[in-house]
Amino acid sequence: MAKTWLSIDVELLSGKGTAVWPRPGRTFAVGPAHTFADFADAINSAFARWDLAHLSVFTLADGRVITDEFSAEEFSTSEFGPVQETLDFTRVKVVRETKSGDEFRFTFDLGDNWTHRCVVSERKLDPNAMFDDPPDRPVAIWGWGEMPDQYGRRWATDDGTEPIPPEPDAADPMADGNWPSEDDRPFIDAREIRAATVAKDADRLITAVLGSHIDEALQLLGEGLLMALRQGRAKAQPIVLSAINRLTFRGFPGDRELSEALLAGLRNEPVPGLDLAVDLEMLSIIHEGSFEESDRGYLDLQTGDVYDAWAAEYGDENIDFNDDPDRWVRFDRADTEDAWNDMQAFVSGLRNPEIRDRGLSAIEGTGAFRRFRRFTDDHDLGDRWVQFSEDRKYGRARLILAENGIRVV
């Protein structure tokens, strides 16, 4: 395609009665369909004008004035200076009225007179080579210099009478490359995840996940993510891939098994193992020892039900686990060491080094569990700890299923 666009350099010469030096400027690409009104908007935007309720006027080298229709009539009937031809800048195309080497003036706000020199370059531009999709307005493609505020304000409340306020001692948080801070993001709402999973509402689940920390609820998310994959692969796939990567990096008990299940779901492959609907939450509760008298639990391979041994033997269930041993999977109660490891993993994952060190000290020696509870209360970490602990317990329950050849979902 022929080179049909103009390259126009625009430099700011003066404003508010003062010459500007060094002169800031911008180079604009201007197409055949662009009017002088389009060009005025592009200049004012590139030169950081925020109050645009002022007149924009172009003056060509032959004296013609190009401005808005209302002002054009006023210029034409002026009682001062030579008679001028004044044109409506919403109708006149820049390419038609200027050519390579031409210079013309642009003035914004006839009160403060922000005056610019516009110079049309000798070279023209090929828009197809420059843009993937040529814009419908002139655009700045190069630039230099600092743009003064159109009212001379140096800060928001500057009225010209006060000294420059002192610079803050601390850098603005937004200047940090890690803004917004991950610590400012909410942790995922476990109740919302459970509700969305039970309701089989993939959109609700994805909404709950986006923008939240999920690293401490990956096990809880497992069933919901597989459900979301089945309902809407396009939306769920990036989240599932992220969860797989996080599980692999984290490496808690049961994480490898869940990541394999999620990967199979992505590939539309069956998850290996016996297809048995097991209440993972109930399995977790019994495995972790909700009944102090019990030291084990049983999983029914026919129904998927989970029983605490003590409750079944002395409660209403009255089940004989020895009657049909092939029907039952026995699992032992979790060790106290597991609970301590949960605390250690939780504290080690805290980002604040000072708080992390306090937590590590709290869990050392006799009385670790009591001191840890006080530590989480003192630092408002109770809810976060409960969610983290439940996720670890879910992982251990998932591991029991995997070790017994039961499909991990």
pLDDT given for residue 293 in this prediction = 63
pLDDT class of 295 with cuts at 50, 70, 90: confident
DSSP for residue 30:
E
**Helices of type H across 34-114:** 36-46, 69-76, 94-97
pLDDT given for residue 136 in this prediction = 92
DSSP for residue 175:
G
Residue 170 pLDDT exceeds 90: no
pLDDT digits (tens, 9 = 90+) for 347-390: 999 988 999 999 999 999 999 999 999 999 999 999 999 999 99
Taking CA 33 as the corner, what is the angle to CA 39 and CA 125, rounded to the nearest 5 degrees? 80
The whole-angstrom separation of Cα 368 and Cα 374 is 10
pLDDT given for residue 77 in this prediction = 57
The whole-angstrom separation of Cα 53 and Cα 151 is 13
The whole-angstrom separation of Cα 134 and Cα 296 is 71
% the chain with pLDDT above 90: 66
Least confident among 24-28, 41-45, 80-84, 291-295: 80-84
| Unique residue bearing structure tokens 């370059």 | 121
pLDDT class of 142 with cuts at 50, 70, 90: very high
b vs e for 293-329, b when ≥16 Cβ sit within 10 Å of the residue's Cβ?
Answer: ebebbbbbbeebbbbbbebbeeeeeebebeeeeeebb
Residue 290 pLDDT exceeds 80: no
